[in-house]
Structure 1
Amino acid sequence: MPTASLLSLAGQSVVIDCGLGVTRGLADQGFALKDLSAIVITHLHSDHYLELGALIHTAWTAGLKAPVTVWGPAGLVRYWRGFLDAMADDLAYRIHEEGRPDLAGLVTIQPLQVGQTVQMGPISMTVGQSIHPPLTETFALRFEGAGKTVVFSGDTAHNPALADFARGADLLVHEAMLAEGLEPLLARIGNGDGRLMAHWLRGHTLAHDAAAVAKAAGAKALALNHLIPSDDPDFGPEVWARCLAPHWSGALHIGTDGLKIPL
């Protein structure tokens, strides 16, 4: 399923991105939806926030009654307002007939800026810049707590500056694509043209470049996510591992649904 991660660090849980399937994915990890409290959206492409409203609403129907803060691009304010408007009939029913708290009053949208540091209970989140044109509000994230550091690249073109941002990370979660898998993917999708290929090439990172960033950062482990392609049997985990072997000798995780990485 598209991009979503759950970071559990120092007793704090943070959901990073809410692509399609995030609600089921969290439940499958044994996460109690009513304990949802912190969400970060790295940028406004559908595979990163399509299910944000549905996740929060489902958590609410599952018992959520404590505040939830959502950090991300400023456009999330418009998205959340639109979601509440679209669900107004259901929300009014559940508040009046079921006695639930007002969902609008539980959720706070907090726009992020590059260079900002946010304290989330026992962990801190520092916001970096990713390169994902034509969008400009696209974020890399560095989380620190309990003596551990986890960095998410967000969607990004090859960004050597990310090595400094991720310096010494226990885990770098970096997007990646395989060059040889792009033409078959474009043909299989079938409703895009050369502009889709151009977007991939200018807005995403080839796997060996992701490895180079991890190596330059001195990261202890590298996890590849947002795989392009992600579901082509001709480009399975063994192909990704073979591609990375000349460039990365540390701990390597190839993203799959439900993958759990202990720190």
Structure 2
Amino acid sequence: MDNNFVALLGTKGGPAIRPGSSMPTSNLLCLNGHKIVVDCGLGVTRGLVDQGLQLKDISTVFITHLHSDHYLELGGLLHTAWTAGLKTKVNVWGPAGLDQYWNNFVASMKSDIETRIDDEGRPDLRKLVAIHVIDNDDIKLDTGIVVAPMRTEHPPLVDCFALKFTSDEKTVVFSGDTAPIATMVDFAKDADVLIHEAMLESALPALMARIGNGSEKLMAHWLRSHTFAHDAAQIATSAGVKQLALSHLIPSDDPDYSQDDWANGVTDHWSGPLHVGFDGIKIAL
């Protein structure tokens, strides 16, 4: 299990956290012993440490899109890894514009970074991190793992990506944030696990009432930009994946809805192994 697994570090859909809630999206993928961070929502640093990862060993990060619940803590993670002894290169792949976030982050931390270089003898963090733009081309990592991106439908954003990670033995697909799309079936074909975002349809009205933001725009966003659990299950069945994991759950923190409700929501469309995401769950491949 230790050489091939995926750990869902943060499984909440959306950026807000409340007492008792799970944390926004982040994941740790391990293929043939090579560890890759996928998305960096709030809490990713703690989540990685809880999985036993030495932060100084981080080398590869992917960001699926530029919504805050997927990249808010990227800067904090890399800076903390640096203070924990990071001195080797980190490659970060993400949509166009991620470099602006990173440049602004290190600019905001200029005083701290330069003080630690002078006072503690650390290498320059700004020279350790390389930001790469995801487009339509496959990415071959130095480890031999191939990463295939596919644009998803997550309006109003355009550069939103599902990611397929393939080693010589295993294939893992992250849907990213997306409305249900037919192209996901071929993209995830025969994957060892599909991690797909999910909404519980019956719970959305109660969630809107609880949020109470006074606007129907949020519900409209959910309905045009995200996927119901039963639709994710249909995609997984059509793709013939070996396991289905539901994450980026909307809602994730309503005490009136349990894992049984999520399981019941997919039972008519999926009969294989099901993992209803919770923070820290580790799924063997």
Q: TM-score, normalised by structure 1?
A: 0.98
Structure 1 residue 226: Cα displacement: 0.1
Contact 1:178 1:240 in 2 (8 A): yes
Name the counterpart of 1:223. 245
Contact 1:34 1:60 in 2 (8 A): yes
**Aligned mate of 1:102, from 121, 124, 131:** 124
Q: Is residue 2:275 matched to residue 1:256?
A: no
Structure 1 residue 190: Cα displacement: 2.2
Contact 1:142 1:166 in 2 (8 A): yes
Aligned with 1:233: secondary structure?
Answer: coil
Name the counterpart of 2:133. 111
Bigger relative CO (Cα 8 Å, ≥ 6 apart): 2
Q: Tell me, in whole angstroms, the C-alpha distance in 1 between the residues paired with 2:238 and 2:142.
A: 28
Contact 1:128 1:139 in 2 (8 A): yes
- CA change 1:179–1:120 in 2 (3 A) is farther
Name the counterpart of 2:15. none
Structure 1 gaps of 5+ residues are: none
Q: Tell me, in whole angstroms, the C-alpha distance in 1 between the residues paired with 2:130 and 2:199.
A: 34
Aligned with 1:17: secondary structure?
Answer: strand
Q: Tell me, in whole angstroms, the C-alpha distance in 2 between the residues paired with 1:93 and 1:24.
A: 25
1:1-263 equivalences in 2 (<5 Å)? 1-191=23-213, 193-263=215-285
Q: Tell me, in whole angstroms, the C-alpha distance in 2 between the residues paired with 1:214 and 1:48.
A: 23
Structure 2 gaps of 5+ residues are: 1-22
Q: Tell me, in whole angstroms, the C-alpha distance in 2 between the residues paired with 1:80 and 1:186.
A: 33
Task: Give the residue type in structure 2 aligned to 1:99.
Answer: G
Runs of 4+ aligned residues of structure 1 deviating over 4 Å after TM superposition are none
Q: Tell me, in whole angstroms, the C-alpha distance in 2 between the residues paired with 1:222 and 1:33.
A: 28
Structure 1 residue 192: Cα displacement: 5.3
Please list the CA deviations of residues 139-191 of structure 1 after superposition, one character each: whole Å capped at 9, or x if unmatched: 00000114110000000001111000011101000000011111111221223
Q: Tell me, in whole angstroms, the C-alpha distance in 2 between the residues paired with 1:115 and 1:85.
A: 31
- CA change 1:104–1:154 in 2 (3 A) is same
Q: Tell me, in whole angstroms, the C-alpha distance in 1 between the residues paired with 2:233 and 2:61.
A: 27
Aligned with 1:183: secondary structure?
Answer: helix
Contact 1:181 1:229 in 2 (8 A): yes
- CA change 1:126–1:192 in 2 (3 A) is farther
Contact 1:182 1:229 in 2 (8 A): yes
Overall identity of the aligned pairs, in %: 59
Task: Give the residue type in structure 2 aligned to 1:81.
Answer: N
> What's the RMSD between the two structures over aligned residues?
0.9
Contact 2:138 2:146 in 1 (8 A): no
Aligned with 1:109: secondary structure?
Answer: strand
Contact 1:181 1:235 in 2 (8 A): yes
Q: TM-score, normalised by structure 2?
A: 0.91
Please list the CA deviations of residues 240-259 of structure 1 after superposition, one character each: whole Å capped at 9, or x if unmatched: 01111111000100000000
Q: Tell me, in whole angstroms, the C-alpha distance in 2 between the residues paired with 1:192 and 1:145.
A: 47
Number of equivalent positions: 263
Contact 1:11 1:122 in 2 (8 A): no
Contact 1:150 1:171 in 2 (8 A): yes
Q: Tell me, in whole angstroms, the C-alpha distance in 2 between the residues paired with 1:114 and 1:209.
A: 25
